[in-house]
A = this chain, B = another copy of it.
């Protein structure tokens, strides 16, 4: 297989170059930079000797350079050894010593007679979703002209480049003279000299910026160009305010429409130093440096380069999507700028929070209880662990961990979210207090091992304090079996926390809530509606089975803030239950979604995500170009490797090392192309693999097909 060998060598070399470049990108000492460049050159020479035509294509796409330095970095970044960071940070070499020992994947694949080659199909010009995704995607990737940064700067001043302004232009614009000629603002982009000198560090071609939706050539440009922030309410006029906000809303709704147009890209990737040159993020000192039209340009610029996490082909993270009712809720929340700590200032929102928490507890299976919305799952889980400690060691609140006669231990699966050890570190228990229990082949906690560890803990004289059952692990989407864990919790008097930040969404689905059978036996649950239910980030709740726990644990008797002699019933105040003081309203958007959809609407939404998963699993089994990590995933996570034809016949360690390297390279290329985003990561002894995730209600089967085709297409082009 000399071809495959060579491909891998080329890919590795290209990848190493890129990382060296990225590294140079922030190092600020001249010597260090040169050392990177030398390495880069050496590497390049090695790669160049292969003479493969593939090399040519890759190096163009990923940045070629023999250049010298000359640009100024903005701040003193932490200087570290280039060897340590340029290479080791990549994780490639690191991982190779511990490759994934598995031989069955190949045999399984080869033993199946019903598999087809998607690579072959794409080479022949056919596609999975001929009707829906085909023309659109083709239009995007083939039709869009490439922007060549090696052209002279003047060539970039075409009609498509009026969105961005350079640092130097801003400086001129902000001068007193410029402020007098508002309305004549030039918005053409030119490359600054410093960028021109540096561009060799970066890829030279990107797809041309798509500005069909984000143009700002509205009729009121002249009007807004004459206005400053001081013309807005409260001290300015309602008319200017309406004009400004309405124009912004038009821009924002154009963004939403763009994001839902599959011929638009998911992102316009630029490397950090590149982007710093392109966008103007300067934080100015001058008063009123920008008129209101310029402020809109600032907004436009951010939207242009922001990743469209609501795009139907954004599968990169657990929180995706853009639900319009949730957005309406967020806009209203922002408009009221409220604080959840007292009924006094947030009467409606406090009642709504109470009602939504009650509804969520009902779905868990509790008639009463307690709970609070917290800024994200990590803090929700911190609440729960803090509460468990308070229940077992109430003295800890005043005396600290010193007062404990026994060391409290937290049990969790090896695949748990890192917020568990994080909480242990913050809480002064130390990460060593977290005992990680091995997982079975599906990523679920091994119950026998769990009980062994509990007994070992008791033998040591430590106190088993909490077991965390992860409901939907981050990578594999595994659900720890709650029933047997709850049995152990009862047997040994241990607090059962369910980290259902991700998986909690299945509770609204009569079909899938069996994944969390026994959840009503938990003492506390973390559930982030900003994940599977599609509410806006941040929307996370910690739910507690017993009432009145949070107050006892967290109140600090701050009577000077939460007066007890108010003229209304202060039990509605939430401030004394929280570890925050001021607390943002995270619940209104979720409530509004619930009003619009009902629990049954949420059920339909969640079931739809699982149907997308089923479609993807079917497709992955259908084609020989992929290898599934888990044949039957529990949640909507689907993990797989892309297997290029050149690796098809490889076996053992070498096969998986290669697949892992190719995964990272394809992801990099995917970001440059911008049509799609899928996450990847290593896990245990498995090298990098793709993790598809369905949490975006916008995605369809055609988007899944597009994703598979695009991966194959990139692999094919490498």
For residue A530, CB closer than 8 A to chain B, the reply is: yes
A697 to B232, CA, bound (A): 12
Known: A378-B580, A596-B288. A430 touches B403 (CB 8 A): yes
For residue A432, CB closer than 8 A to chain B, the reply is: yes
For residue A8, CB closer than 8 A to chain B, the reply is: no
For residue A474, CB closer than 8 A to chain B, the reply is: yes
For residue A204, CB closer than 8 A to chain B, the reply is: no
B-contact bits for A423-434, CB 8 A (1 contact / 0 none): 011111111110
For residue A98, CB closer than 8 A to chain B, the reply is: no
CB–CB B256/A233 < 8 A: yes
Look across to chain B and name the residue whose beta carbon is closest to the beta carbon of A295.
B596
Interface segment out of the listed A136-144, A304-312, A708-716: A304-312
For residue A205, CB closer than 8 A to chain B, the reply is: no
CB–CB B582/A376 < 8 A: yes
Interface segment out of the listed A183-191, A215-223, A328-336, A484-492: A328-336
A612 to B451, CA, bound (A): 65
Chain B residues whose C-beta falls within 8 Å of the C-beta of A421 in the assembled complex: 556
B-contact bits for A350-374, CB 8 A (1 contact / 0 none): 0110011011000000011000000
Known: A347-B307, A430-B402, A567-B22. A581 touches B332 (CB 8 A): no
Those of A10-24 within 8 Å (CB) of chain B? 15, 18-19, 22-23
Interface segment out of the listed A39-47, A145-153, A642-650, A678-686: A678-686
Chain B residues whose C-beta falls within 8 Å of the C-beta of A591 in the assembled complex: 281, 283
CB–CB B249/A245 < 8 A: yes
CB–CB B286/A600 < 8 A: yes
Of B252, B272, B536, the residue contacting A351 (CB under 8 A) is B272
Those of A422-457 within 8 Å (CB) of chain B? 422, 424-433
For residue A630, CB closer than 8 A to chain B, the reply is: no
A151 to B397, CA, bound (A): 52
For residue A470, CB closer than 8 A to chain B, the reply is: no
CB–CB B310/A337 < 8 A: yes
Chain B residues whose C-beta falls within 8 Å of the C-beta of A260 in the assembled complex: 233-234, 238
Look across to chain B and name the residue whose beta carbon is closest to the beta carbon of A245.
B253
CB–CB A279/B348 < 8 A: yes
A709 to B696, CA, bound (A): 55
Chain B residues whose C-beta falls within 8 Å of the C-beta of A321 in the assembled complex: 234, 337
For residue A688, CB closer than 8 A to chain B, the reply is: yes
CB–CB A244/B324 < 8 A: yes
Chain multiplicity (copies): 2
B-contact bits for A524-568, CB 8 A (1 contact / 0 none): 000010100000111000000001100000101011110111111
Those of A255-289 within 8 Å (CB) of chain B? 255-257, 260, 267, 269-273, 275-276, 279, 281-289
Of B245, B275, B429, the residue contacting A324 (CB under 8 A) is B245
Chain B residues whose C-beta falls within 8 Å of the C-beta of A325 in the assembled complex: 229, 232, 295
Known: A295-B592, A430-B400. A580 touches B376 (CB 8 A): yes
Chain B residues whose C-beta falls within 8 Å of the C-beta of A428 in the assembled complex: 389, 396, 400-401, 427-429
B-contact bits for A596-608, CB 8 A (1 contact / 0 none): 1111110110000
Chain B residues whose C-beta falls within 8 Å of the C-beta of A624 in the assembled complex: none
CB–CB B401/A581 < 8 A: no
CB–CB A310/B252 < 8 A: no
Chain B residues whose C-beta falls within 8 Å of the C-beta of A18 in the assembled complex: 567
CB–CB A281/B432 < 8 A: no
CB–CB A399/B430 < 8 A: yes
For residue A579, CB closer than 8 A to chain B, the reply is: yes
A256 to B237, CA, bound (A): 11
A584 to B538, CA, bound (A): 6
CB–CB B317/A563 < 8 A: no
A431 to B681, CA, bound (A): 41
Most buried by B among A339, A422, A530, A569: A569
Chain B residues whose C-beta falls within 8 Å of the C-beta of A568 in the assembled complex: 22, 271-272
Those of A106-139 within 8 Å (CB) of chain B? none
For residue A615, CB closer than 8 A to chain B, the reply is: no
A53 to B363, CA, bound (A): 54
A337 to B558, CA, bound (A): 34
Q: Ordered nearest first, which 3 A-B pairs have the shortest CB separation?
A: A428-B428, A400-B430, A234-B698
In addition to A76-B547, A306-B346, A398-B431, 19 A-B residue pairs with Cβ atoms within 8 Å of each other are A229-B596, A235-B698, A241-B324, A244-B324, A271-B569, A272-B347, A275-B347, A279-B351, A289-B595, A295-B595, A305-B348, A306-B348, A327-B334, A330-B331, A338-B537, A396-B425, A400-B433, A422-B554, A559-B681
20 A-B pairs (CB sep. < 8 Å)? A22-B567, A90-B565, A232-B325, A233-B256, A233-B698, A234-B697, A245-B249, A248-B332, A249-B331, A269-B347, A275-B347, A284-B595, A302-B332, A303-B336, A306-B346, A316-B344, A319-B582, A330-B334, A396-B428, A425-B556
